[in-house]
Amino acid sequence: MGDSSKSQTSNFYSILGIPKSASLSDICKAYKSLVMKWHPDRNPSNKTEAQAKFCSINEAYRTLSLKKREEDSLKKREGSINNNASNGERKPKHKKKKSHDYEKGSNLHISQPTLVSRTMSRKSPLTSPKLSDSSRRGNIPAPPPVDLYNTPTPTPTATAEEVPLSKVASRRCTTPIFFSQSAARVKPPPIRRKIECTLEELCLGCVKKIKITRDAISTSGLIVEEEEILIIQVQPGWKKGTKITFEGKGDERPGTLPADIIFSIDEKIHPLFKRDGNDLELGVEVPLVQALTGCTTPIPLLGGGQMTLTINDIIYPGFEKVVPGQGMPISRHGSRGDLRLRFLVEFPPELSQDQRAEIVSILEQSSSSLD
């Protein structure tokens, strides 16, 4: 069993590519170099092999660094015993302890980098490193910080496809992520997306369910792929450009806060109505004879239904009629804008000579009566 343990330790030296006489500093340097080379995110073409090597490198580092620290600690204790024996009865001089002195033999160091936890606050940066007095028996040193994420991170994708309301999460394990807490986490710029709404949806209100896929850091420190449903309650009267912010719903990365996702409302083109602020515009086409003699015409309303409008005036090009309270909702006032009707006169494509003469006669009589 002892031979097996020695063989495995020798294999760890081989994995890191260092001699058995390597110091703790040599072990750290080798680890840093190899972990950057074999990190799965840097080897997309052979991710399976990289994953296996990455795990082996981490295991070798933990085992050898612990072994080296124990050896160094043992040497220090043996040296201390030999010094005390050689001093005989020489009385050591005692120095008054100050508030910043620590017990001899203790190992003062910055707290180890920790695995990222999902329970950390998304709104506040990581706390500053604390000084801690580690055990005399030696702790496993944390791996040196490695900058593996200089490349831009992918942003989550959003679609307007409706899906069941319940949150569906599919997780795939990758690798444990270690990073230093020595610097405050920064927040990347927000991710911006547009969400299209019809005029009916902006008039009556609706619920939009948007599925996003993003990278998240689990409680065990693994980067996992997560699906989530974001729900937007569209309020009646919202306009183009209205922004809805979901804080911290972007990709999670070591050393950074997750970005916000900002959705902005965009209006789909309507086949009949055109929006102008809180008002709606509608084009109404009437035949020439009705434009001259008056008419009663049905007017469609946004969201369904219709009203009947009677016009006794002569309808000329550019003629407008305003229907109060049939525009878009005004959320602050609880009222609605107006519906503006723009009339277009439909002229006959052709007239016979008799018709032309008759129209000329009628119009001349109309003009003379006005005089």
Over 70: is that where the pLDDT of 123 sits?
A: no
The mean pLDDT of the chain is 76
Q: Tell me the average pLDDT across 39-45.
A: 82
Which one-letter DSSP state was computed for residue 221? S
- Whether 7-82 shares its CATH topology with 273-370 is answered no
Q: Tell me the average pLDDT across 254-258.
A: 88
| Domain ranges, ordered by start, for the chain | 7-82, 157-175+184-267, 273-370
For domain 273-370, the CATH architecture is Sandwich (2.60)
The topology under which CATH files domain 157-175+184-267 is HSP40/DNAj peptide-binding domain (2.60.260)
Q: Tell me the average pLDDT across 143-169.
A: 43
Over 90: is that where the pLDDT of 84 sits?
A: no
The topology under which CATH files domain 7-82 is Helix Hairpins (1.10.287)
Q: Tell me the average pLDDT across 244-254.
A: 91
Top-ranked range on mean pLDDT: pick from 7-21, 154-168, 216-230, 279-293: 279-293
pLDDT reported for residue 53: 85
Over 90: is that where the pLDDT of 102 sits?
A: no
Over 50: is that where the pLDDT of 162 sits?
A: no
Top-ranked range on mean pLDDT: pick from 105-114, 120-129, 136-145: 136-145
Residue pair 297/285 in contact (Cβ under 8 Å)? The answer is no
pLDDT reported for residue 81: 67
Which one-letter DSSP state was computed for residue 46? G
> Three-class SS of residue 98?
coil
